[in-house]
Structure 1
Amino acid sequence: MSKRSFSFWILPVAIAIHSITLWTISCGGVYGEEAAAVRVGPDPTAYKTCVDKGVNYLVTHQMPDGSFSPETGVGITALAVAALVRSGLTTHDPPVRAGLAYLEKQIQPDGGIYTPEGFYKNYETCIAMMCFQWADPERYKDVIARAEKFVKDIQWDESEDKNPSDYFYGGAGYGRSKRPDLSNTAFLIDALRAVGRGPDDPAIQKALIFVSRCQNLETEYNTTPFASKNPDGGFYYTCAAGGQSMAGQTPTGGLRSYGSMTYAGLKSLIYAGLTADDPRVQAAKRWIAQHYDLDSNPGLGQQGLYYYYHTFAKTMDALGEPFFVDAQGRRHDWRAELFEALAKRQREDGSWVNTADRWMEGDPNLVTAYALLALSYCRPTEIKPTGTGSTQSGGSARP
């Protein structure tokens, strides 16, 4: 047999053997043996180095009283301490102990955790609730219970003479006198979920009413005048008090959807118990698939980028899948991609900062806290192929 005829014969046989081998692996191995686990997410060594540098930046920039950027209120301290805890520090570590002690001093007689002269009572209390819960739930059990009552009391509902037909209903703002918005409402849902409240909690179900009305999707749950003007399935800042989107309006008077609020909206829908077959969830996922991006906050460019990264991570974790498929059919290892986006933006001293300084993202304490919180959902993990071709996560990002 000539060399040419031998090559002509052996090539298709080799391809066939390779194809059979791949098929065998995907089906669980020979005679039903379990397929090997596959790692998703970033390289473990690179991940640890990045997180350690961020943690080191925060602990070396903590004030003597345990606070971080205290001139801005309680929020950044609560975010920073929460980030340290989710990065592996515990109440045995001095930076966490000092931060918690500072937050304890901000507990008010009404149960809220905020600075009395500030305007962010709901926001600050919700973040502090999560921080206390993640750090030491038993020790702070009573503090958390009183804080929960506080944030529920300032939620817009019948106690503020609002009924379910009012666009304020179910939402949370920065405080009782502020109009509700999707960001604060999402933090409220996050906090309630963190302390163990489920979709059947009345406050979460009230919040779901508000969240649904901030979506650009006309349904039986959303008959606001904005829903039909830009029906792309994304979310915007608030439907209350005339409505507002930080991304502006469409030529027809609709409110533009944008990334951070769409991820916040989808996460809130999931936490409120909506499943994958709900039209609201489906529409939000379509918007995300069409605008999947880790170089910008879709619709806002670099503005609010690190808030977006944090919300992106929590939402992807809530979806519960190791990969996300975009509108072009591309499969994304979102943990690895988010890590890469953050790692390349980390400064030499371990911090992160946003040069598009809107919503206080010029403060490296705040932005480093956001980045570390986002990274806490990007931990390298393993998945194992199942008989149906779906995947299972090898671990949870939630403590």
Structure 2
Amino acid sequence: MSLQHKKTFSVVLATGLLLSFGGSLQAVGPDEAKLKDSRQQGIKYLSVTQSDDGSWTSPHAPGITALVAHSLLQSGVSREDEVVQAAFAHLKSHLKADGGIYDVDSSHRNYETSIALMAFQAANTDGRYNELIQNAVKFLKKVQWDEEETGSKADPAFGGSGYGKHQRPDLSNTTFFVEALKTAGVSSNDPAMQNALTFISRCQNLESEHNTTEFASKVNDGGFYYTIAAGGSSQAGTTPNGGLRSYASMTYAGLKSMIYAGVKEDDQRVKAARNWIKQFYTLDENPGMGQQGLFYYYHTFAKTLAVLKVDEFEEADGTKHDWRQELANHLFQVQKKNGSWVNPTDRWFEGDPNLVTAYALLALSYCDPPTSN
């Protein structure tokens, strides 16, 4: 779908109740029995595909194992479940003296540690992982790009996080970093969070006092792209004038991270990002990227709308959506008979059913019908 044209998209509600009062929608979420059944199928699939060593996909990919473990916990599996315990034992085998949780030969240290931290925090109701989590926070702060790497806060790379300390930072890694710190209880006022916000703001197509980079005004649509560092890059490509195209998964990720970093909803950055997502509501694709990164998009889409406390999503043209119901129904429809999900467009490891099933379960974890106050 070209972001230069208004998308055409019709939502078919396969199941569930959608009530109308005075022309507005009452968000009620998906059918709870179907939601429970879908989750159980996904959980069952992952319990079968776990390796004897507690990992999924590869013993050298703790990020995938951590994401799967986190998705199981978010889906109601007990932290004492033998599958979860085996996963945590495997993750602990990747614990390093510097506090990081990553494979010895990894170039994905920030990503792996961030996701592992979130998994351990989800199981930390009695404080059993406090020390591990705090050490992981210290490690993540050390690998964040600061003036030691950039020489100046004016450098576009300042405040970002990448796969490893000496790889240029990007928005995806930085949003995992911010969420990990938020999960661990780090204040939005913490210097690490505010430095990350500096980087995130510079990855937004919005000219403001927060973004005076060379790309800020070239697109200026309020969306986000992959990175401003090392000359700038967007996975969605460039515009004729050399701008970096916005795309949905990074826009939702950037918006969510700004909220985590304390940016208020009346801030121009948040308003501009929300206006962008109102233009491109769809579950058919990851707007700007087509089928690439589709399940990463579903997970980020769901979590961001939950963070924003959106029950009824309203498009720019006024069309309203019970997004929980629509997302859940879509995921029910594309779930495989064996309980897994997979993306036929195998980019960013989305041909791996373990990873994609974890993304889908995490997305479904935000689809529970909202509780009334």
TM over 0.5: yes
In structure 1, the partner of 2:120 is 132
In structure 2, the partner of 1:88 is 76
TM value normalised by structure 2: 0.92
In structure 1, the partner of 2:93 is 105
Report how many aligned residue pairs link the two structures.
Answer: 350
C-alpha deviation, 1:329, in angstroms: 0.3
Residue from 336, 344, 355 that aligns with 1:347: 336
Rounded Cα–Cα distance in structure 2 between residues aligned with 1:250 and 1:161: 28
Deviation track 1:39-58 (CA, whole Å, cap 9, x = no partner) reads 62101001001111001000
Q: How does 1:354-365 map to 2 (within 5 A)?
A: 354-365=343-354
Residue from 38, 41, 54 that aligns with 1:50: 38
Computed over aligned residues only, the root mean square deviation of the Cα atoms, in angstroms, reads 1.4
Q: How does 1:254-269 map to 2 (within 5 A)?
A: 254-269=243-258
User: Is structure 2 residue 257 aligned with structure 1 residue 282?
Assistant: no
C-alpha deviation, 1:338, in angstroms: 1.0
The 8 Å contact of residues 172 and 253 in structure 2, kept in 1 or not, is answered as yes
Residue from 312, 321, 329 that aligns with 2:310: 321
327-336 or 68-77: bigger deviation: 68-77
User: Is structure 2 residue 328 aligned with structure 1 residue 335?
Assistant: no
The 8 Å contact of residues 86 and 376 in structure 1, kept in 2 or not, is answered as yes
Q: Percent identity?
A: 56
SS in 1 for 2:231: coil
Q: Which amino acid aligns with 1:376?
A: S
Would you identify which runs of 4 or more consecutive aligned residues in structure 1 move more than 3 Å? none
Q: How does 1:1-399 map to 2 (within 5 A)?
A: 40-71=28-59, 73-137=61-125, 138-383=127-372
The 8 Å contact of residues 156 and 162 in structure 1, kept in 2 or not, is answered as no
Rounded Cα–Cα distance in structure 2 between residues aligned with 1:310 and 1:161: 32
Q: Which amino acid aligns with 2:301?
A: F
The 8 Å contact of residues 27 and 322 in structure 2, kept in 1 or not, is answered as no
The 8 Å contact of residues 162 and 168 in structure 1, kept in 2 or not, is answered as no
TM value normalised by structure 1: 0.86
Deviation track 1:250-281 (CA, whole Å, cap 9, x = no partner) reads 00000000010000010011111111110000
SS in 1 for 2:272: helix
C-alpha deviation, 1:71, in angstroms: 4.9
Rounded Cα–Cα distance in structure 2 between residues aligned with 1:213 and 1:39: 34
C-alpha deviation, 1:161, in angstroms: 4.7
Rounded Cα–Cα distance in structure 1 between residues aligned with 2:179 and 2:279: 26
Rounded Cα–Cα distance in structure 2 between residues aligned with 1:160 and 1:115: 23
Q: Which amino acid aligns with 1:187?
A: F
Deviation track 1:200-222 (CA, whole Å, cap 9, x = no partner) reads 11111000000000000000000
The 8 Å contact of residues 53 and 59 in structure 2, kept in 1 or not, is answered as no
